[in-house]
């Protein structure tokens, strides 16, 4: 097996100081590039070190260049200062890497940059870099979006935990991880070593929340309490809607349909019936608008049709937030979700794709957004998506606009 080789720019930062030894321990060869070579030699005695002008001399030693250099979001600087390092230097470094014959550039960004509402100089500069790096790229360019990195030393807002004893900091960190996504150094190393097996140009790399018992327990508790509260507070509305549906058109008030759940297991999903009983049993985007009852249009737009799914939550088949469950016949979507490990979590009543108006008509795009949710999920992120859903963001699953 050939030795993996990396040329690393920005290895003197807190992430680099943990990533470099982890890559060496994984059997990789590393070449370190920086402005202050003496500083790098002090941090990494005996390492292969050079300045930016030496990048062209390392083409044979490192086929992949890792761009870790950055001005972080906790630093007080104007946009041009952020752009100089996060954008301009990144582009110049990429061109040097391409000229030296390297095969790939991996640009380290942050999940902060995925939020378009984040208009900080840091997030804007990271978004600008991704956009420009993707334009006529002379070499294979990958983007790694990282949340807060946790390891032997914590950075950013988590740095305060470094001063606490381990028996205090470890459980506290687990609770904080349940609130916000994080990533460990081994997770980053695993992502770098499997880039050849990944077809995506942009990847969110994070630690699976299923490994955090605080997240698993608190998410289940939030689902259960919320479903029970909805049932106790809105039982009268559910009965009223059921009666009106029955009165308006022939057929049951509750629509029962087999959907694909966690680990690919089928379950019966409940919804208020919004279509005539003659509607075909296919994905919603394949159903003509003429199949929707007059009341059904309102129920779908207001998302009241989803209320019976509280019973699915109480049965531990669904969550408040997660990928929308699909039909067994949607084999392409199931395969795409399986490939991205999306089926490892429970489906949800609402989700990241839904609030961004992405339905099941494009299986690959939907699976990509489902995977993004999988990597970004946390209790605070779930609450944000629930609030966005309550405020009417996202129009739900769309039907065909033709009448046929």
Report how far apart, in Å, the C-alpha atoms of 157 and of each of 128, 148, 173, 179 are.
Answer: 24, 9, 12, 13
Q: How far apart are CA 393 and CA 306, in angstroms?
A: 15
Q: Which of 363, 349, 333 is nearest to 394 (CA)?
A: 349
pLDDT of residue 56: 67
Judged by DSSP in three states, 259 sits in strand
Residues 8/66, Cβ–Cβ less than 8 Å: yes
**What's the pLDDT score for residue 401?**
43
What's the sign of the alpha-carbon dihedral 277, 311, 226, 344?
A: negative
Q: Would you say 320 and 220 are in contact if contact means Cβ atoms under 8 Å apart?
A: no
Q: Which parts of the chain register pLDDT below 50?
A: 1, 59, 400-401, 403-404
Q: How many Å apart are CA 71 and CA 83, to the nearest integer? A: 9
Query: Based on C-alpha coordinates, what's the Rg of the chain?
Result: 25
The DSSP H or E segment spanning 260 is: strand 254-260
Note the pLDDT of residue 289.
76
CB-facing half-sphere around the CA of 286: CA atoms within 13 A = 10
pTM for the full model?
A: 0.88
User: Residue 1 has what pLDDT?
Assistant: 42
Q: pLDDT by residue (tens digit) across 57-87?
A: 654 555 899 999 998 777 788 999 999 999 9
- Residue with tokens 């007059």, as numbered in its chain: 294
State the pLDDT at residue 276: 84
Phi and psi at residue 167, to the nearest 5°? -70, -15
Whether the CB-CB separation of 94 and 139 falls below 8 Å is answered with: yes
Give residue 57's pLDDT.
67
* 183 to 145, 149, 204, 207, 373: CA distances (angstroms): 10, 5, 10, 5, 15
Q: Give 114-129 pLDDT, tens digit per residue.
A: 998 899 999 999 999 9
Q: How many angstroms separate the CA atoms of 6 and 62, rounded?
A: 5
Identify the CA nearest to 71 among candidates 27, 136, 30, 13. 13
**Which residues, at least 6 apart from 106, have a Cβ–Cβ distance to it below 8 Å?**
64, 65, 66, 67, 142, 143, 144, 192, 195
pLDDT at residue 58 in the model: 59
Q: In whole angstroms, what is the distance from residue 221 CA to residue 171 CA?
A: 19
């Amino acid at each position: 097996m050939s030795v993996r080789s990396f040329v690393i720019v920005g290895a003197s930062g807190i992430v680099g100081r943990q990533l470099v030894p982890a890559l060496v321990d994984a059997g990789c060869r590393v070449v370190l590039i920086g402005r202050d070579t003496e500083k790098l030699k002090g941090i990494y005695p005996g390492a292969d070190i050079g300045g930016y002008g030496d990048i062209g001399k390392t083409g044979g030693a490192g086929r992949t260049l890792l761009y870790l250099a950055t001005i972080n979001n906790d630093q007080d600087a104007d946009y041009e200062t952020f752009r100089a390092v996060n954008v301009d230097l990144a582009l110049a470094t990429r061109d040097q890497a391409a000229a030296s014959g390297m095969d790939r550039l991996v640009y380290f960004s942050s999940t902060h940059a995925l939020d378009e509402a984040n208009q900080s100089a840091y997030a804007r500069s990271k978004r600008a870099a991704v956009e420009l790096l993707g334009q006529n790229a002379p070499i294979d360019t990958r983007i790694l979006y990282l949340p807060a990195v946790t390891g032997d030393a914590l950075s950013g807002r988590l740095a305060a935990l470094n001063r606490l004893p381990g028996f205090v900091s470890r459980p506290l960190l687990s609770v904080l991880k349940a609130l916000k996504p994080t990533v460990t150094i081994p997770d980053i190393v695993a992502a770098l070593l499997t880039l050849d097996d990944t077809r995506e140009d942009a990847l969110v790399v994070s630690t699976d929340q299923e490994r955090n018992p605080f997240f698993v327990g608190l998410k289940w508790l939030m689902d259960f309490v919320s479903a029970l509260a909805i049932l106790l507070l809105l039982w009268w509305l559910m009965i009223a809607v059921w009666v009106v549906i029955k009165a308006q058109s022939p057929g049951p008030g509750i629509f029962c349909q087999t959907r694909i759940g966690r680990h690919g297991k089928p379950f019966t999903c409940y919804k208020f019936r919004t279509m005539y009983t003659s509607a075909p049993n296919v994905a919603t985007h394949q159903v003509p608008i003429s199949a929707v009852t007059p009341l059904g249009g309102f129920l779908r737009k207001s998302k009241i049709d989803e209320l019976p799914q509280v019973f699915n939550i109480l049965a531990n088949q669904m969550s408040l937030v997660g990928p929308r469950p699909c039909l067994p016949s949607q084999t392409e979507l199931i395969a795409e979700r399986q490939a991205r490990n999306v089926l490892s979590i429970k489906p949800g009543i609402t989700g990241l794709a839904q609030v961004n108006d992405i339905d099941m008509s494009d299986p690959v795009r939907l699976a990509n957004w489902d995977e993004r949710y999988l990597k970004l999920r946390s209790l605070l992120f779930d609450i944000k998506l629930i609030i966005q859903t309550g405020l009417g963001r996202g129009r739900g699953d769309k039907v065909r606009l033709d009448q046929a």
